Amino acid sequence: MNYFNIERAFDTKRVRKWDKVYIAVDFHDTVFKGYYQNDQGFKFYDYAEQILRYWTKREDIVLIAYTCSHAKDFERVNKWMNERGINFDYLNENPECENTELAAFHQKPYFNILLDDKAGEDFEDAWIIIIKMFEEATGESVMRWTVGDGEFFKNAITRRMGKMGKLLPNM
């Protein structure tokens, strides 16, 4: 399973000998619950902080804030993230990838992985799956797993499988 394109992105990086993987991340309803109020407080969804902080430390990962928030709202969120050791390299752009004959990256920034609730995922419990997929794709360990983490992971997978099962046609 190529959940969130994580496996394909890191396989392609290895095969093509790329230096970097570009990850675009939305904030509201992706990294934390969005209440869509100017004075909103923030609380990470479970496991989001761990993997975002881990990715920040990696030189081969470029984090792109992919949001429609106004500049002052982005600054507030970005400051909150920075205080927790999470740094985004760019906001809604990727100047490292220039336009080509076939692609206009000034109109849509280039990324390998998109983490955005508008792409159809419920992120409330997705981050533990993202961590596991990243660990599988790279062979790295992001965190020490506990029994509680295993239960959270199992429940997240089971919930998704239940939703998918409802889509199966009656046979």
Quickly list H helices, 26-126: 48-57, 71-83
What's the pLDDT at 169?
A: 61
Q: Regarding beta strands 113-115 and 21-25, do their DSSP bridges make them parallel or antiparallel, or are they unpaired?
A: parallel
Question: Which of 119, 14, 91 lies closest to 60, judged by CA?
Answer: 14
Q: Let me know if residue 170 belongs to a domain.
A: no
Specify the pLDDT at position 166.
63
| 171 is a domain residue | no
Please indicate whether residue 171 or residue 96 has the higher confidence score (pLDDT).
96
Q: Is residue 99 part of a domain?
A: yes
Q: Who contacts 115 (Cβ-Cβ below 8 Å, separation ≥6)?
A: 4, 23, 24, 25, 26, 30, 121, 123, 130
Note whether 28 and 34 are within 8 A (CB). yes
159 part of a folded domain: yes
**106/101 Cα distance (integer angstroms):** 13
Domain harbouring 47, CATH code? 3.40.50.1000
**Up-side HSE of residue 104: CA atoms within 13 Å toward CB?**
1
Structural domain includes residue 47: yes
**pTM of the full predicted structure?**
0.88
Name residue 80's amino acid.
Answer: W
Which residue has tokens 């995922």? 121
Mean pLDDT of 12-41: 90
pLDDT of residue 5: 92
Average pLDDT over residues 69-94: 93
- Give mean pLDDT, residues 96-121: 92
> Does residue 98 lie in a domain region?
yes
Q: Are 125 and 48 in contact (CB under 8 A)?
A: no
* Beta-bridge partners for 61: 21
- Give how many domains the chain has, as a whole number: 1
Domain with 30 in it: 3-165
Residue 96 maps to a domain: yes
- Mean pLDDT is lowest, of 34-38, 97-101, 137-141, 165-169, for 165-169
| Residue 19 counted as domain residue | yes
